[in-house]
Amino acid sequence: MKQEIKFKAIVDRIEGDKGVLLLGEEQDDSVDFPKNFLPDIKEGDILNFKISVKSRKTKEAKDKVKEMIEKLKAEN
């Protein structure tokens, strides 16, 4: 399974506090993305995205939740 993906998006338009992005080379999919997570954008800008899974951090978070559940069980 891929642990990282990269893709491009084009800024289709700005709607209030969201940027409407067309995703991928074919621009078949769109997504409303909060502007506070984007650089200073304008219509027509091309953005590069890289999304990766933080496996170690995910495991640490799951372990912490498991520990908390076990602690709660022990208290009851």
Q: Could you tell me the domains of the chain?
A: 4-75 (2.40.50)
Widest distance between CA atoms in the chain: 58
In the predicted structure, residue 56 carries a pLDDT above the cut 70: yes
pLDDT at residue number 27: 80
Spatial CB neighbours of 45, under 8 Å, sequence gap ≥ 6: 10, 11
Residue 1 has pLDDT above 70, yes or no: no
Q: Per residue in 13-44, pLDDT tens?
A: 999 999 999 998 788 889 999 999 999 999 99
User: Is residue 54 predicted with pLDDT exceeding 90?
Assistant: no
How much is the pLDDT for 48?
A: 94
Contact 11, 27 (CB under 8 A): no
Residue 28: per-residue pLDDT: 83
